[in-house]
């Protein structure tokens, strides 16, 4: 699949940065912030959205946080 370069910009090191690359990075940041926010809300709130949270959901939220942190640290 060929990608069409819509716009290019050269950064300080002389590397060409395409619009598609910029959009990809911003989507990664957006998804990471959403997952971190949801995970932290679930872990911090004792009664998230007026329902008791079972331990399975708390484990899933901790997994989200761990996956996002691990992704950005790798």
Give per-residue pLDDT as tens, 9-62. 666 666 777 888 889 999 999 999 999 998 898 888 776 666 677 788 889 989
Q: Where are the domains of the chain?
A: 27-73
Predicted local confidence at residue 11, as pLDDT = 61
Token duo for residue 55 = 């331990």
Predicted local confidence at residue 49, as pLDDT = 63
pLDDT band at 69 (very low <50, low <70, confident <90, very high): very high
Give yes or no for a contact between 11 and 17, defined as CB atoms under 8 angstroms apart.
Answer: yes
**DSSP label of 3:** P
The pTM of the whole model exceeds 0.75: no
Give yes or no for a contact between 53 and 68, defined as CB atoms under 8 angstroms apart.
Answer: no
């Amino acid at each position: 699949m060929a990608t069409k370069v819509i716009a290019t910009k050269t950064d300080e090191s002389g590397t060409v940065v395409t619009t598609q690359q910029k959009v990809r990075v911003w989507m990664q940041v957006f998804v990471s912030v959403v997952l971190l926010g949801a995970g932290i809300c679930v872990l911090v709130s004792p009664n998230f959205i007026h329902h008791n949270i079972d331990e399975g959901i708390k484990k899933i939220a901790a997994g989200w946080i761990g996956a996002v942190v691990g992704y950005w640290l790798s």
